[in-house]
């Protein structure tokens, strides 16, 4: 991880000097994480891809404003967060329609992998955007509370509140599923 950070720092330095190839290497390292974060946040594959491209383009254009290259991940996800919420605000009605139907959170029985995937997607989709994003940043991306607060531009207490509420909701839906319906 340390080597990875060092290498990312080198790539960022080269990209800042206009080395597009170095930036493409950096993109290739982060595109999957950013794409999946955006996909789970906005719920549409094409939107997530378009947003990912916008995120990396904006990141390249503003790379010189990144004071500490070690903070690149948080900085990148902050751009992704802003881009995603711009889209969510524009497409609010469609976004609400796009929410996947409930997939039987209280259902019982062993889940097959596809069912499990659908159950998780369903559980995530029933969270509010803020709650879902808190889960995505913490559980899937591994950011600390302070980093999340910077990405989301909110106090740590708000981050905790959103995340704890989301975990309670997810627990109600997902824990019994895995446990064979015994909550």
Partner 1 sequence: MNCSSEDLKAYFLGELSSLDKAPVEDHVRACQSCREELERLKLTQTTLLALEDEEVPRRISFVSDKVFEPRWYETIWHSGPAMGFASAVILAAAILTYGFTRSVVAVTPAVDTAQIEQRIEREVNARLEAVVAKAVSDAQSRQAAEFAKVLDATEKRFETRRQADLATVQQAAEYYEKQMSRWEIALNDARAGQ
Q: What residues line the site for partner 1 (CB under 8 A)?
A: 16-18, 20, 23-24, 27-28, 31-33, 35-36, 39-40, 45, 49, 52-53, 56-57, 60-61, 113, 116-117, 119-121, 124, 135, 138-140, 144-145, 160, 163-164, 167, 170-171, 174-175, 177-179
Q: How far is the CB of 102 from partner 1 (least distance, A)?
A: 16
Q: Which is nearer to partner 1, 93 or 165 (CB)?
A: 165
* Structure letter (DSSP) for residue 65: G
What are the CA-CA distances from residue 149 to residues 6, 92, 129 (Å)?
24, 24, 15
Q: Which is nearer to partner 1, 45 or 92 (CB)?
A: 45
Q: How far is the CB of 5 from partner 1 (least distance, A)?
A: 19
* Structure letter (DSSP) for residue 138: I
Distance from C-alpha of 149 to C-alpha of 161, rounded to nearest angstrom: 12
What distance separates the 2 farthest-apart alpha carbons in the chain?
57
Q: Which is nearer to partner 1, 89 or 178 (CB)?
A: 178
Cβ-based burial of 123 (10 A; exposed 0-12, middle 13-18, buried ≥19): buried
């Amino acid at each position: 991880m340390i080597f990875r950070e060092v290498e990312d720092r080198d790539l960022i330095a080269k990209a800042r000097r206009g080395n597009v190839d170095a930036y493409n290497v950096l993109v290739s390292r982060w595109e999957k994480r950013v794409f999946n974060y955006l996909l789970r946040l906005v719920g549409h594959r094409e939107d997530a891809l378009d947003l990912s491209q916008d995120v990396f383009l904006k990141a390249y254009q503003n790379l010189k404003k990144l004071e500490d290259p070690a903070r690149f991940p948080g900085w990148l996800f902050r751009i992704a967060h802003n881009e995603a919420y711009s889209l969510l605000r524009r497409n609010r009605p469609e976004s609400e329609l796009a929410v996947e139907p409930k997939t039987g959170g209280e259902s019982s029985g062993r889940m097959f992998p596809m069912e499990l995937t659908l159950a998780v997607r369903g559980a995530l989709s029933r969270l509010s955007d803020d709650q879902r994003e808190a889960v995505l940043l913490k559980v899937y991306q591994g950011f600390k509370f302070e980093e999340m607060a910077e990405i989301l531009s909110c106090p740590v207490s708000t981050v905790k509140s959103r995340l704890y509420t989301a975990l309670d909701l997810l627990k109600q839906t997902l824990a019994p599923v895995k446990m064979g319906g015994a909550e």
